[in-house]
């Protein structure tokens, strides 16, 4: 199997007629809505390069680690975050952590970043950098918040 060569962070939030419609609209806002998400566990291949989000081939399979939350409680604040911890040693893999909860984007980001830092520390690796993406959404009727780390290769670019 080949490893992806690039990754990007993304996030989106939305309202919808149902929780699934809200989730779908949040994916569209994040730029990954017209792909087939393949949810993966949380390891970033060594040497992978971070890029800005790019247009993706519609219908492609997209390996992605993500957090999401939906709610139908009006006025509640929901938040989703992902954090990537990249080791100082580029020959080692990175770690992705996901977090979602009722609350603010700031609180979600803090939790995800803390978990990512700890994941490298328990491996005995020195943290090079921690990157994160987060979003919050105040529910009107039915809302969703989504944050992800998408791993791609050249064939997935649109």
Whether 100 is catalytic is no
| Mean pLDDT for the stretch of residues 7-24 | 98
Whether 36 is catalytic is yes
Whether 41 is catalytic is yes
Which residue among the candidates 11, 42, 67, 100 is catalytic per the annotation? 42
Q: Set out the domains of the chain in order of their start, with CATH numbers.
A: 6-156 (3.50.20.10)
- 66-124 residue pLDDT tens: 999 999 999 999 999 999 999 999 999 999 999 999 999 999 999 999 999 999 999 99
Mapped onto helix, strand or coil, the DSSP state of residue 33 is coil
SS (H, E, C) 38-57: EECCCEECCCCEECCCCCEC
pTM score, whole prediction: 0.94
| Mean pLDDT for the stretch of residues 30-49 | 95
- 126-149 residue pLDDT tens: 999 999 999 999 999 999 999 999
Q: Is the pLDDT of residue 155 over 70?
A: no
Which residue among the candidates 14, 67, 98, 100 is catalytic per the annotation? 98
The confidence score (pLDDT) of residue 47 equals 92
Mapped onto helix, strand or coil, the DSSP state of residue 110 is helix
The confidence score (pLDDT) of residue 1 equals 59
Strands 61-71 and 36-39: parallel
The β-bridge partners of 15 are 143
């Amino acid at each position: 199997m080949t490893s992806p060569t690039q990754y990007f962070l993304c996030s989106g939030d939305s309202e919808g007629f149902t929780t699934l419609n809200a989730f779908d609209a949040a994916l569209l806002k994040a730029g990954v809505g017209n792909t087939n998400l393949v949810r993966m566990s949380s390891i970033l291949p060594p040497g992978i390069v971070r890029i800005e989000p790019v247009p993706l081939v519609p219908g492609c399979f997209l390996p992605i680690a993500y957090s999401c939350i939906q709610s139908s409680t009006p006025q509640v604040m929901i938040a989703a975050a992902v954090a990537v911890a990249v080791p100082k040693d580029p020959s080692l893999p990175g770690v992705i952590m996901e977090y979602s909860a009722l609350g603010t984007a700031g609180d979600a980001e803090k939790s995800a970043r803390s978990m990512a830092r700890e994941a490298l520390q328990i491996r005995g690796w020195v943290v090079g950098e921690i990157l994160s993406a987060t979003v919050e959404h105040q529910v009107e009727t039915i809302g969703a918040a989504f944050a992800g780390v998408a791993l791609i290769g050249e064939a997935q670019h649109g």
